[in-house]
Structure 1
Amino acid sequence: MGLYRTLPLAWGAWFSVVPKGALLLNFIYLLPEEGGASLFLWYVFGVFSLLGGYAAAWAASTPTEMLFWGTFAQAGYMVLASVYGGEESAAAFWLVYGWASLLSFLYVDRPWRGRLGDSVGLLLLSNLAALPPVLGFWVKVGLFWVGLRHLPPGVREMVVGAAALATLAGFAVYGKLLWRIWDQPGEPVPFWRRVVYGVGTVGLLGLGFWGLAGLQSLKRFL
């Protein structure tokens, strides 16, 4: 964590999102197709990432650290999404959450305040917390659907239960983060940042209104 405190925010955000996703995608290729003990350990890893990431995020002392630890929880969701959906589903999941996480890091570093700016921040963090109508909600819906349909008994209860608890924890963590942002006095935000925030949020919102079809459209490019 000390490394991330010394890096400029843009680099810290990049290292907390992109290499982690690439590393996990490479590990997915090592998953045994026939299942067994190795696959069960993969489930356990995903569950601990979900719950441990949000627990650490809740205890973090700064908004940036909260987002950093939150990416570990999102990595847990990615692990669970990959088991039956494969590399394509995992990549689509990380594309959505990597995009939202990078935007959120920028927003937390320099919040855009005011009625419009607060709405943008709310939508960005709503995507991470999987609240409708942004795309992150449909990603989590798809994940729960896969878990309920394909996971074996016992594992299904463990994984879906952990994902449900983590979703509730996400509401608490990102709600706390948003409250911290709104509790601080606003500062002028450069025009280019407002454009980046706005365009990124419109994309997440537009694909969210498109629903699961929007998620499927992303997979075609992967």
Structure 2
Amino acid sequence: MDGLDRAALDKAEAKDFALGGKPMRPRDSATLMLLDRSGDVVRVLMGRRHSKHAFMPGRFVFPGGRTDAADARIPVAQGLHPDEEKRLIGNGARASAARARAIAMSAVRETYEEAGLLIGEKSPFSTSSKDWQGFAEHGIRPSLANLRFIARAVTPPGRIRRFDTRFLAIWRDQVALELPEGGPTNELEELVWLPVADAKETEVPLITRTILDDLEKRLREDPELTPGSPVPYYAMRRRIFERQLI
């Protein structure tokens, strides 16, 4: 995607997004790549979005969704690794530790809701937030310590939805609990674990395929996903979709 102009990108993503949206500020969102290293190759969890969605209908994506600022107030067993927190905070007027924490927590929450995977530590946990009652019911206190920042991408202008998405990752063996019945929502119609190379060949959005390319490269060069490593950041700049490291 790096280097595509506005017209070329609109054409390439026509099946991924409903075009024609009014000017809008991208909303914070987060998505989580669950990585299974138990076999000969790393596999990643993908889910198919409902065909009636206006945003990426019928496409395979990672669990994730919009950030809720209230997620920053949920107590955790452990916070973000300091080096990961620093990169997630970034720069700019809206940069803050609370925002970075909310983004990371939204990935944890959405992964439970959509895939039934609870990330945290087995420990008594209670909260008044209805969105986190699943963690309380199963005795899992959320934890951010093992999350790793992989990439960031801003949805280009002209879509009916725009997000400033952080792509995070965690190893499957660091998940506290996997519910056999999946998550409580029906956002994802189908969940599959696929080798990263195979995941790129499914019906994935162009940006998802691009991030999977970045993940493959990162795993080759840094198989342990070292905290604080530079990450690619994709955004439209001067009508060109560009990649830069942050």
User: How high is the TM-score relative to the length of structure 2?
Assistant: 0.27
Between Structure 1 and Structure 2, which shows a larger proportion of helix residues?
1
Higher relative contact order at CA 8 Å, sep ≥6: structure 1 or structure 2?
Answer: 2
User: How high is the TM-score relative to the length of structure 1?
Assistant: 0.29
